Every structure is written in structure tokens, then in C-alpha cells.
Amino acid sequence: MAFQPSLQEIQNFKGKYPKQLWSLFFSEMWERFCFYGMRGMLTYFMVTQLLMSDVDANLQYGATQAFVYAFTFIGGLFADKILGFRKSLFWGGILMIIGSSILAFDPHQFFFLGISFTIIGTGFFKPNISTMVGKLYKADDPRRDAGFSVFYAGINIGALLGGYACIAIGKEYSWHLAFGLAAIVMTISLITFVFTQKSLGPIGLPPSGEEEMNDIVVAGIEDKVQTEPVTVKVKANNKKWYDYAVYAGSLAVIPVIMIMVAKTQYTDWFMYIIGPATLVYIIYEMSKYGWAERKKLIAALIFILFSIIFWGIYEQSGGSLALFAARNLDSQLLGSITLDPNGVNNSANSLFVIIFAFLFSIIWIGLAKKKIEPNTVIKFGLGFIFLAGAFFIFYSTRFFSNGAGIASLDVFIIAYLVMTFGELCLSPIGLSIMTKLSPVKLQGVMMGMWFLASAYGQYVAGILGAGMAQAGEHDTPLQKLMSYTEGYKQLAIYSLIAGVILIAISPVVKKLMQEVK
């Protein structure tokens, strides 16, 4: 029987990194290869292979991503309370493999069936492997940040490779092969986890006891940037039939997801109901607390509102920018290197995160030592300013185009560099600030609100992309260049306004936050 270390033995590791980190690193790297490879193919495949209009493809991309992010929170809850992280991760991986295999078999006929499996699978897989990384460390271990930095490097390597490889293979060779590659790498991810999980000891096992309280470390939803982990307490239930109920329920909901993604008006209804209902519930809960707690919750809601705007603009990457890259970009980098424009669109951000994330952390540390580090609200505002700069550069590609409407790949990549700077300012705050601003009993609810806000951001991204596509469905590439870049200019203006407003109201929000930094 294989030796299983205790939690204390794992957390008392020698050196900089626990050995278990590396198996989780590779499992996550290959899973993110699958996820970002699939994500990067969606809009392009829907337009070129399923012959959808740009409008419908953008709306369905937004709906798909919205449900991915919504189910990430739901999958995390089921793992916390019933399955445990290991079972949840394994079940999610199996569903993702099935979904990718269905798409590899016949992506045209079974597109929405395959996508629905991957939506549910990602919801079970994604939040729980990050949680297990957090469990490798004691709460006060100063080596935690270094470990998460390595883990997020794995995420970005997977996103970089998958984002480029899958779309390039699909366009140049075979869509069956492209989706099949996603299934293969997901299988590698799952095999890696299965054969190394013994070394995790008790980490990730199902919760025991009817009312046992468990500390849940959550790393954050925007998974390509190192986020500050947070801890939330939840009540656990561990009855065997609960496991089977979760498995059966997740399979039973797949036809519902198929309908809601394929018919985006159903997604509209869902989003119209769930957001306002959640807000009403939060307001009701706020009434139970004193003014000091209410002010912090108001500050949290401000962050949530602006995060929806940010992700709605940022996530054009998988929607309108994917179509723009396919139709309006040349394939020459620096005039000599031939690259697939869609591959660049899918992977440039990951490459820049790998290069610059560490530099940004050094900058913040240096500013903090000099006591001039911007506060959380200012960082949010700077994120929007950089985002505005990126979309102004996307707009400026029209000035670097030829008469046929084909623009410069070099300028396009510069825009992604600036966009990454914006992400690095805003994204690491995430769930951590939600729990810091929330009373203990509301931390789980506010964590859910942050995940829901990310889902709304994806949903808004689809609507914005569809709006830009409505101008001329059958336009020439030159006309599409003009209409899309005009849309990017509008998004740049919206982002700039949001950033200026955030910076302007930062003193007010800082007062609402009180002692929270």
C-alpha cells in the first residue's frame, strides 16, 4: 500500500516548494491547454463551420462562457460540502474528456452537446485544483506566494500552448483533430492526477462528519494571474448517496444547458432573473448588519459592478477579436515570422502574463516599501486605463491596414501587451477583497457574487461583440475593419470613463472600506 503523508508532513516540507505542487502543476497545465484551446476555437468555428452569423456566434460565445463561470462557483460548492476536491476534479475531468471526444467525433452535429459537457466539467475541475494547491501550505507560510506563482505559470503555459495549437490545427488540418487534441491533453491531465494523488495525503478527500466545518482556500476565478488566496468556512455533509445525487444531477442538467446555450434568449432570461434576485438578497442581508458592515458591503458591490464592465470589454478576446483576427490581420510578425493570427489572439495574453506578472509584483512591493503603493481602488482604475489604451490601439489598426482591409499583426500584439498590463493591475484582487469586505456569515455569498459578476462579464462581452457585428454582416473585409475598429474605439472610451470615475471616487470607496486595504 502506497505511503500517504499526513497534512502536517506535507505542510512541513523542506525547501521552497512542496513536491506535490509539481503534479498539480502539470495536471492544471494540461487542463488549461484543453480549456483555452476549446475557448479559442468557439467563435471562429461557429461562424466558419456552423455558418452562424457574427451576431449569433458572439451571443452564443458569451452564453457559453457565462455558464462556465457560473458553474465554476457551483462546482466549488459541491466539492466543499459533498464530493471533496479530488472526486470533484476527477468527475469534472471525465466530463471534459467526454465533451471534447463528442466534438472530435462530429463537431458539426453534436456541437452544443459537447460544449455542454465541457461547461459542467470545467465547473467541477477548475476551482478545486487551485484549492488543493492552497492546502499544501500553512496559512502563515511565507512560501505560499512562490508556490502559487509556479502554479499560475503552469496555467499560462497551458493557455499559451493550447490557445495557439488547437485553432491552428483546426484551420489548417482538421477540426476533428483539433477537438481530439483537447480530449487527449485532458486525458493526460487526469492520468497525471490519478497516479500522483496518493502523495496528497488527506488533502482533497471528502469532508467527514455531519456538521464539520472546513476551511476552503479559494485562489480566484481569473486564473491566468496569481491571485491572493482567501479562506471561507462552510458546513460539510458526507453521505454516499449525496455523491451519486451530484453525479446524476450534473448529467441531468446537460440538456438544460444545451437548450440555454443554443437558444440565447433563454440565457437572457436566466441572467435577467439571477442577478437582480441575488442583489435583492444581498440588500436583505445587509439590513441585518450595522452601518460599518453595510459600508464595506457597499464597497464590495462597487467592485463587483466595475468588474462586470471590465470583463465585458476584456473578453472580446474570445468573441469579436477572434473574428477580427481571422479576417483583418496579416500573418507576419516583424515582417519575417509567419504566425496564425487567431493563434496569436488566443495566446498573446498568456505569453505577456508569463513575462510581466513577476515584474508587476516587484513593482508593487517596491512601491509599498516606499509607502506609495496605489490602493485597491486606484489599481482597479489603472486596470481600466490600460484596458482603454489597449482598445484605442485595436482601433488604430485601421491606420496600419492596406486597401483590402488587412491590418498589422504587430500593432495588434502591442494592444494585447497593454491589455495584459490592465489585467495585472486588476485581476489579483478578486475574491480576496470580497472576503475582506464581508462579514464572516456572508463570505460564501459574496464569493458567489464575484463568480456571478465574472459570468455577467462574459455575458456582456457576447452582447457587445454582437452589437459590433450587426453593422454589416455581409460587408467586405475593409468595411468590417472599419465597423469593428469603430466599436473598439467606443469600448476604449467606456473603459476610460470607468477608470476615471473609479480613480475620482477612490477616496469615497476607501472610506467605505474603512480598515480594509
pLDDT tens-digit series, residues 446-491? 777 887 888 899 899 999 988 887 766 677 888 888 889 999 999 9
Q: Which residue has the higher pLDDT, 434 or 494?
A: 494
Q: Are 95 and 103 within 8 A, CB to CB?
A: no
170-190 mean pLDDT: 93
Distance CA(50)–CA(52), nearest Å, equals: 6
What is the percentage of the chain residues whose pLDDT exceeds 90? Answer: 34
54-80 mean pLDDT: 85
Residue 31 C-alpha cell reads as 487542463
Distance CA(442)–CA(286), nearest Å, equals: 9
Distance CA(462)–CA(447), nearest Å, equals: 23
Domain-wise residue ranges, the chain: 4-8+16-209+243-262, 263-516
Residue 460 C-alpha cell reads as 456582456
Same topology between domain 4-8+16-209+243-262 and domain 263-516: yes
Instruction: Indicate whether 2 pLDDT > 90.
Output: no
Distance CA(99)–CA(31), nearest Å, equals: 13
Residue 450 C-alpha cell reads as 464575484
Q: Can you say how many angstroms the Cα of residue 365 is from the centroid of all Cα atoms in its chain?
A: 25
Residue type, 62: G
Indicate the DSSP class of residue 213: E
Distance CA(165)–CA(162), nearest Å, equals: 5
Q: For every residue of 328-354, which 3-state class applies, written as one string?
A: HECCEECCCEECCHHHHHHHHHHHHHH
User: Which alpha helices (DSSP H) does 438-476 contain, by range?
Assistant: 443-469
80-100 mean pLDDT: 88
308-331 mean pLDDT: 91
Distance CA(504)–CA(497), nearest Å, equals: 10
Distance CA(65)–CA(62), nearest Å, equals: 5
Per-chain mean pLDDT for the chain:
85
Q: 263-516: CATH homologous superfamily? A: MFS general substrate transporter like domains (1.20.1250.20)
Q: How confident is the model at residue 211 (pLDDT cuts 50, 70, 90)?
A: very low
Per-residue model confidence (pLDDT) at position 473: 65
217-239 mean pLDDT: 58
Per-residue model confidence (pLDDT) at position 210: 42
Per-residue model confidence (pLDDT) at position 21: 87
Instruction: Indicate whether 187 pLDDT > 90.
Output: yes
What is the percentage of the chain residues whose pLDDT exceeds 70? Answer: 90
Q: How confident is the model at residue 219 (pLDDT cuts 50, 70, 90)?
A: low
Cα-only R_g, the chain: 22
Q: Are 453 and 383 within 8 A, CB to CB?
A: no
Q: 4-8+16-209+243-262: CATH homologous superfamily? A: MFS general substrate transporter like domains (1.20.1250.20)
Instruction: Indicate whether 517 pLDDT > 80.
Output: no
Indicate the pTM of the whole model.
0.89
Per-residue model confidence (pLDDT) at position 366: 84
The torsion region of residue 148 among left (phi > 0), alpha (psi -120 to 50) and beta comes to: alpha
Q: How confident is the model at residue 361 (pLDDT cuts 50, 70, 90)?
A: confident
384-412 mean pLDDT: 93
